[in-house]
Amino acid sequence: MIVTPQKARFTQPLKLTSGAVLPEFEIAYETYGELNAARSNAVLVCHALNASHHVAGTYADDPDNVGWWDNMVGPGKPLDTNKFFVIGNNYIGSCFGSTGPTSINPATGKPWGADFPVVTVEDWVAAQACLADHLGIERFAAVMGGSLGAMQALQWALSYPARVRNSIVIAATPRLSAQNIAFNEVARQAIMTDPDFHGGHYYDKGVVPRRGLRIARMIGHITYLSDDAMMEKFGRVLRRVTPGFDFDVDFEIESYLRHQGDKFSTYFDANTYLRITKALDYYDPAADFGGDLSKAFARAQADFLVISFTSDWRFSSARSREIVRALLDNKRVVSYLENDAPQGHDAFLMDDARYFNALRAYFGNIAL
């Protein structure tokens, strides 16, 4: 499946949750399949921290660059592009094409950098609604995402209840725990205390806070995998014949983390990382309802599919059950799969049979 990334430009200002205003913005997106005549078969896919609008397929000039959810989205796949018109989009504040800190600030003609406002999950969804308007989609057959993407899928059902028929919420939490925030804060501190950060104004200095990004990514990777999955994958296996009694790589896991950190630090924008983690921290749909998630969900009209993974300790199944319970309190139609998968949070990206079959069946039952 060869795809072409596109950009939609919006010249109307976008008022953000913080009170700041984006005078104009762009959203990078891709589409897979065809929009039907009734415009009833559109599915919006929302990505997590490190991914982009490149959900599926490859580019003609870059055949190795496969979309991050290519196992899920395509002809004959669980989210079948023979039936559905699927849209991948890059949220604002990201560094993969949509307007973000690396974009040019029209007021200065230079990159926004540290001046780019802090955006929220609600802001992402509001910007995505502009994209939906642009594509002529009044109502989505489904909005779907995992992790941070699941927060967007959930928020769509709250921000635009009439525009979402199905909200598919995978490996989610309704709001971060103190421990979740703690991990984000350590990552931010690693970035912000990197001498190459320069208060976020590093673009014109010819440097990037690579050390900080590296640490942030290593911390992230630990939380994406379960203890058991990490033990299964890396164990206590040495990379050398005997321990080195120095600080070079001894264990496989060290090599893996250094490699992941190094790679990430070459392409990810630090100002984006800071803002994404903040959006995660702030997200709390119950905040305006005295912490009562049931009250917060009262305005939802969609049907819901909620999926969690038993080994996910970042956003445990207990957190998904909070969502399910609050939806049931509101008599929403909810399907819930608590999948017994070993991989931890990253399980949402794996083609586990039970998980994929559940999605295949769910999408199969959506009448157009």
3-state SS string for the chain: CECCCEEEEECCCEECCCCCEECCEEEEEEEECCCCCCCCCEEEEECCCCCCCCCCCEECCECCCCCCCCCCEECCCCEECCCCEEEEECCCCCCCCCCCCCCEECCCCEECHHHCCCCCHHHHHHHHHHHHHHCCCCCECEEEEECHHHHHHHHHHHHCHHHECEEEEECCCCCCCHHHHHHHHHHHHHHHCCCCCHHHCCHHHCCCCHHHHHHHHHHHHHHHCCHHHHHHHCCCCECCCCCCCCCCCCEHHHHHHHHHHHHHHHHCCHHHHHHHHHHHHHCCCCHHHCCCHHHHHHHCCCEEEEEEECCCCCCCHHHHHHHHHHHHHCCCCEEEEEECCCCHHHHHHCCCHHHHHHHHHHHHCCCC
In the complex with its own copies, the residue whose CB is nearer, 83 or 221, is: 221
Of 7-15, 142-150, 275-283, 302-310, which part binds its own copies (CB under 8 A)?
Answer: 275-283
Stretch that binds its own copies, among 33-41, 135-143, 153-161, 250-258 (CB under 8 A): 250-258
Q: Is 312 a catalytic residue?
A: yes
Give me the least distance between CB of 158 and its own copies, in Å please.
18
- Catalytic one of 52, 147, 159, 265: 147
Residue 26 is a binding residue for its own copies (CB under 8 A): no
Question: Is 345 among the residues known to form the active site?
Answer: yes
> Applying CB under 8 A, does 266 fall inside the site for its own copies?
no
Confirm whether 147 is a catalytic residue: yes
Q: Which stretch binds its own copies (CB under 8 A): 224-232, 300-308, 324-332, 360-368?
A: 224-232
From candidates 70, 80, 115, 254, binder to its own copies by CB under 8 A: 254
Q: Is 261 a residue that touches its own copies (CB under 8 A)?
A: yes
* Cβ proximity to its own copies, 3 vs 176, nearer residue: 176
In the shown chain, the binding pattern of residues 68 to 107 toward its own copies, with x for contact by CB under 8 A and - for none, equals: ----------------------------------------
Residue among 222, 298, 328, 366 that touches its own copies (CB under 8 A): 222
Q: Which of 70, 80, 115, 281 binds its own copies (CB under 8 A)?
A: 281
The footprint of its own copies (CB under 8 A) covers 17-20, 117-118, 175-179, 181-183, 185-186, 188-190, 192-195, 211, 214-215, 218-219, 221-222, 225, 227, 230-231, 233-236, 243, 245-247, 250-254, 257-258, 261, 274, 278, 281-282, 284, 313
